[in-house]
Structures are given as C-alpha cells and as structure tokens.
Structure 1
Amino acid sequence: MAESASSLSGDWRHNKLLKGVFAVTGIMVTLVTYGILQEKIMRVPYGVNQEYFKYSLFLVFCNRITTSAVSAGALLASNKALHRVAPIYKYCLVSVTNILTTTCQYEALKYVSFPVQTLSKCAKMIPVMVWGTLIMQKRYQGYDYLLAFLVTLGCSIFILYPAEFDMSPYNRGGENTVWGILLMIGYLGFDGFTSTFQDKMFKSYDMEIHNQIFYTTLCSCVLSLTGLFVQGHLIPAVEFVYRHNDCFFDIALLSTVATASQFFISYTIRNFGALTFATIMTTRQLVSIMLSCLWFAHPVSSEQWIGAVVVFGSLYTKSFLRKAPQKTSSSEPVQNGDSNNVKEIP
C-alpha cells in the first residue's frame, strides 16, 4: 500500500515537472521569439534597397485577425457559444485601447532600442495601480507603492543613461528620443487601462477567456483595417510585403507566436497560478533583453546595468513576497502577477 502511494506521488511529481517544462518552454520560446521578430521587422532594413517597414497598424491587424480566428475555433471546439456576453461597446473599448497600446509599442522601436522598450514595460505597475484605484476602487499596501517606485526608478535610469552609438535608423543623432519616451508613456497608460477594464469585465459578467479574446480581437480587426484605409497604408504595406518575401515570413511568424503565446499563458496560469506566471514573465523579459543585446549588438552602459538590476531585483522580490492566490473556478477572472492585469495580448 505504501509502495503504491509512493508510486502515485512520484508519478504526480513527474507529471507536474513535465507540465512545468512545457509551460516555461512555451512561454519563453513564443514571447522571446515575438520580441526578436518585432525588433527585426521595425528596425532592420529589407532587400537590396534597404527599405524599412513602417506600417505598425498592419502588424496589429495581422496579429489580431490570427488570434480572432484561433479563439473562435477554440470556442467552437469546446462547444462554447459565440454570442456576446457583454455590450459590444465594452469589447470595443478594450479593443481601441489595446490597439493604441500595441501601436505605441511598435512605433517606439523607431526611436528607442528594444532593451529600453522592454524594460520600460516593467514600469506599468504605477499606471495599473492608478487605473485600479479609479475604476475598481482598489487599495494597495505600502510595499506595493515602494516596489512600483523602485521599478520606475530603475526604468528611468535605464532610459536616461543610454550607451553611445545605439541609435535607431529613424533617430539619427538622438534628437527624437523624446518621441520614443512619449510613446512608451502612452503604451503604459493605455495598457494599464486595458488590463484594468478587462478585469472589471471578467468580474461583471460570466465570461470565458476566449469569448473576450474573440470579440476584442474581432473589433481590433475592424478598427485596425479601418485605420489602414484612412491612413492610406493598407496598399503600401501589402506591396512592401509582396516585394520582400522575408518580411511576409517574419509577419506570419510574428502573428503565429503571438497567438500561440496566449495558449501558453492560459495554460500556465491554470496549472501553476499567478505567482509562477509572474516569475516566468519577469525571466522572459530579462532573457529578451539579453538576447536583443547579443543579436542586434546593443551596447549597454554601466548605469543601464544598475537600472536593470534595480528593476528585475524589485520584480523578483515582488514575486516571492506575494502570497499564493487561492484557486478560482474557470469562470472567474484569471490574473497574472501584475495587479489587475488579466493577460498580456501582444
């Protein structure tokens, strides 16, 4: 009997280990690949004429139409209804702010390096806390504010003390670096609102994760396509991709890994909880920055190393100090390690 119990315990630990390896590998591969691809598409020229891809909204459209199709398939495969649970304007509101978030993220790469952009994302704790107070009437403890301050301080050091000769091709001489900073501030503000409002929708309605993803990404497809028509960028973007087959491959792979990452995010949270997910995401950001510095030869100043240590040290401290959340039913909102942040949609 004891041997049988020991065998069952060993099998459980083995299965848990395999699931953990699967989750970590999936998140790291998809999101790190996503980060490298977005930098390559926006900062590396294509073809003999050295043309740069400039159509950020086209990337948003490709990502969203892929995710929308997959989420619809997931709902149908699980025999879940495709009908709306919340008013359509609420899905549209999430969609609009999510489009603005992603567009700011891509556009920022024209003016700042990927390591700066990625580390700046860590500072979203403050806008999330602000929106959480305004929308959800949440209250935060003193150590939350302290950790948010330390992360923001580290990000500020990283941005304000860049290494020399790390200029974007759109930013010769560094005169437009301020645009990169403003775009990242826009990213943080819009992203904080998006995740907070997503959380509010999950708590206000009996809503499946794929239901929200389907309708918000469907709205994003319509809005981003409309934006491309209004700006007159749809035809030039298609022509660019037609001229450069390697760009088409990069965009197709970007949309694929962005969509696949959603599966691994949901899988990890469902099986291991928010605490483990937060730690994996922090590690992913660190690995992405290190790979970007090696792959694209970004120089890093000593001040930036100090800023990075402050940021990631604070984030890991936050992960280890956070109490493990209680398990929730599948109909309840699923949160990652950041307050109010339901899930990250690239």
Structure 2
Amino acid sequence: MATANGTARSRAPNGSTANKANDFLDKRVTGTTQAGKNDVSLTSSEEAKSTSNTVNLMICVGGIYASFLTWGVLQERITTTDHSTIPGQREVFKYPVVMNTVQSIFAALLGYIYVRVSRSTPGDLPIYPSKEIVWPLLLVAATGALSSPFGYASLAHVDYITFILAKSCKLLPVMFLHVTLYRKSYPFYKYAVVALVTAGVAIFTLHQSTGGKKKKGAEGNSLYGLMLLGINLLFDGLTNSTQDNIYGRFRPYTGQQMMCALNIMSTAITITYLLLSPYVAATGLGHYVGMDLTKSGGELWDALAFIQRHPAVGWDILGFAFCGALGQVFIFRTLSIFGSLLLVTVTVTRKMLTMIISVLWFGHSLTGMQWLGVGLVFGGIGIEAELSKREKKTKDAGKKKM
C-alpha cells in the first residue's frame, strides 16, 4: 500500500521491523511524530518533551497574536477610513473578497518559501503528494472561502448579540464534527474543557458588547438569518475537523505543505468568484447570499478603481495580506503540532485576551460577569493542561512496563 509521500508501507503487525522503519522515515521527513494527548497532530508522546511543546506553543501563540493584532488594525483602517472629499458622502473600501484574494496569494507564496526552506532534498515535502489528498484539501479550501460570506450575510438578518454568541461557540461544531463525521473519541475532560472555555468566552463577550456602543446588525433574528449563521459555523467546524483528518490520513504531511496547497486552491476559488460575480449578481441569486448588487462592474474592477483613486489603500492591503500570511504560518504550525481544538481555543480567546491587556494597560476595570468569564476560560485551560500531563505520565509509565 503506497503512502502519501510515495513510500511503500507494508501491512505488518505493530512493532514489526517494517512499521518501525516507516515510523523512523516519518520522523526524518517531518522532524516530528504523533502526540498522544493532542487531537490529530504530528508529534509523538515519546519524543515531544513537555518543555519542547511548551516552547513551541509559546512561539505559535505569540506569532498568532502579534500577526493578527497588526492584521486587525490594518483591516479596520482599510474598511472604516472615509476617503470622500464631498461632505455627507462616505467613500469606504468595501471589497472583502479582493482583500482575501490578495492575502491568499501572499500566503501561497510564503507557504511555498517555507516548504522550500524546510526541504532536505528537492523531492521532499511535495505540495500535493497524492491524488487522494486533493479532494479533502479542496473541501477545506471551499468551506474556508465560503464561511465568511455566509457569516457577513447573516448579520443582515440576526442581531449582533446572537452573532457574537454563535462565534464564541466555534469549539462546539469542531468537536461535534470530529465525533460524528470522523468518529473520533475524546476523554470526558476534553468535553468539559470545551464547555468551560465556550461558556467563558460567551459570557465575557456578551457582557463586553452590552456595555459598549451598539454594533452593526439586524434588530431581531429571522429563521433565514439563523440558517446562514448555522452554515457559517458548520463550515468553520468542517474546515478544522477535515484539516485534522488530512494530517491523520496522509502522514507525513506538514503545516507548510497544507498552507501552500490550501492557499493556491483558495486563490483559484476567489478569483473565479470575482470574475463571475457580475454575472451571478445579474441573475438575482446574489441577493440571497448577501452580494452587493449596486457594484457596477463587479467587486474586482470596482476595487481596482478605488485603489487607483486612493493609492494609500493599496499599500494598506499589501500590509494586511502580509500580516495575514505570516499569521497563517503560526496557525498551520499550531494545527499540525497541537490539533484543531487547541488552535480554535487560541483563536476564540485571542480577542478576550487582547481586551484584558487593554483594560490592564489603560487602568480600566472589568465587570463581575467578565471576571467570571475569564475564570472559566483559564480554569478550563488549566484543567486540561494538568489532566493532559497526568494522562501522558500514565501512558509513558505503561509503555515502560511493556
């Protein structure tokens, strides 16, 4: 039976010479092995020492935070700055697919450079190591590209509180699809940790939003809006759970390979959309998925015309794309080493931690319910760390006795 990297893998019993040789080859190609305590990842519980994992986690989380904090600032500046010189008439850049396309181009190039630097020989780390891997990768690229438009479209039909509450619960569809679609099982404490973190983020976010200014969104919730929001969460969960499945099925397959492969596909999907969107909008179908039917020549040409009028926006978009691409390097490294549950935990708590830093920096105070949310999140993460450590020690002790 041929593996993803073209090597022959015999159906030998566990512990046989053939299996040991293949395990050794996997470690040589990827530099990592399978981690017993983390979802589907590429590090082994014997060789991934706790100190090494802690350093890796700190690097990954720090990289994600630094990259996406800058990315968020640039995104807000691009999408909220009024460039109009006519009083009472706003001229703001509102072409998100163009921004995402530029970012995916940058990420594909950066991912390819990362692959080239990581190669030991010219044949190492192929972007698409087999025909079988193309379809699951295409599913991830499609769900990743379609997720955001459904989320944005839902805001016109559901209120902002419902929207942020749903986005705070991203861990739930990820775990649900792992269990139902890919038949993965978790120890009980994993479910408890997901529940604690989800509840904590939801409580913190809800109480933060009620105290601030009203956000853009519909006044109430419609069944259609809830359906769009449900599709958005389903796509988010399918994206992360399928990525984990790919790492498990096509070992060795690294984060840098997946980053490059997915962004090539995403670029192709979004460019196709940009070229076809004027024709889709003309059919009337675009109205139901939140497309702006007022754009004269389609999003691509209108965005290029806007940048031509205001060149500074173009430079901001390039900076936005680079920061997003750099952040993806750390995201895919986190995903390949620690799995999607930990990655989603990092991403859903990023905004909360950013707000806590802001509160401490400027001497503000949190409400009692917000402190409760913080306690639930960090309590859940602390419980998982301690129980995972005990589980690892038990497994290591059992292997030493064998």
TM-score, normalisation: structure 1: 0.68
Query: Using a 3 Å threshold, how does the CA distance of structure 1 residues 283 and 147 change in structure 2: closer, same or farther?
Result: closer
> How many residue pairs were aligned?
304
Task: Name the CA distance, whole Å, in 2 between partners of 1:104 and 1:22.
Answer: 32
Residue range with higher mean Cα deviation, 158-167 or 210-219: 158-167
Structure 1 position 230, deviation (Å): 2.5
Q: How far apart are residue 137 of structure 1 and its match? A: 0.7
Aligned to 2:110: 70
Aligned to 2:192: 146
Residue pairs, 1:171-320, within 5 angstroms: 171=217, 175=219, 185-206=230-251, 207-231=253-277, 232-265=298-331, 284-290=350-356, 303=369, 306-320=372-386
Cα deviation, residue 139, structure 1? 1.6
8 Å CA contact retained: 1:65, 1:218: yes
In the alignment, the residues of structure 2 paired with residue 107 and residue 316 of structure 1 have an alpha-carbon distance, to the nearest angstrom, of 36
1:58 corresponds, among 71, 92, 98, to: 98
Q: Which amino acid aligns with 1:75?
A: V
Give, in whole Å, the separation in 1 of the partners of 2:221 and 2:74.
22
d(CA) in 2 for partners of 1:103, 1:70: 25
**Identity, % of aligned pairs?**
25
Closer, same or farther in 2 for the Cα pair 1:109/1:253, shift >3 Å? farther
Shift of 1:68: 0.9
Q: Is the 8 A contact 1:105 1:187 kept in 2?
A: yes
Decide whether aligned partners of structure 1 residues 241 and 152 sit closer, same or farther in structure 2, where only a CA change above 3 A counts.
same
Give the one of 51, 63, 73 matched to 1:26: 63
Which ranges of structure 1 fall in alignment gaps of 5 or more residues?
A: 1-14, 327-346
What amino acid sits opposite 1:262 in the alignment? Q
1:123/1:152 contact within 8 Å kept: yes
Query: 1:205 is aligned with what amino acid?
Result: F
1:155: how far off? 4.3
**Residue 95 in structure 1 maps to residue 141 in structure 2:** yes
Corresponding residue SS for 1:163: helix
- Letter of the 1:318 counterpart: E
Q: Distance in 2 between matches of 1:259 and 1:127?
A: 25
Deviation at 1:65, TM superposition (A): 1.1
Matched, 1:45 2:81: yes
The verdict on how the C-alpha distance between 1:201 and 1:18 changes in structure 2, with shifts beyond 3 A counting, is: closer
Using the TM superposition, give the Cα deviation of residue 47 of structure 1 relative to its aligned residue in structure 2, in angstroms.
1.1
Q: 1 CA distance for matches of 2:206 and 2:383?
A: 24
Judged with a 3 Å threshold, the aligned counterparts in structure 2 of structure 1 residues 224 and 187 are, in CA distance, closer, same or farther, namely: same
Q: What amino acid sits opposite 1:203 in the alignment?
A: G
CA contact (8 A) 2:203 2:373 kept: yes
Higher mean displacement: 277-286 or 303-312? 277-286
| In 2, Cα distance between equivalents of 1:221 and 1:130 | 29
Q: Contact between 2:255 and 2:335, CA under 8 Å: does it hold in 1?
A: no
One-letter code aligned to 1:175: E
Q: Classify the secondary structure of the residue corresponding to 2:141.
A: helix
Q: 2:214 aligns with which of 167, 185, 189?
A: 167
Deviation at 1:23, TM superposition (A): 5.5
Give me the whole-angstrom Cα distance separating, in 2, the residues matched to 1:188 and 1:86: 29
- In the superposition, the TM-score normalised over structure 2's length comes to 0.60
Residues 289 and 107 of structure 1, relative CA distance in 2, 3 Å threshold: farther
Q: Which has the larger radius of gyration?
A: 2
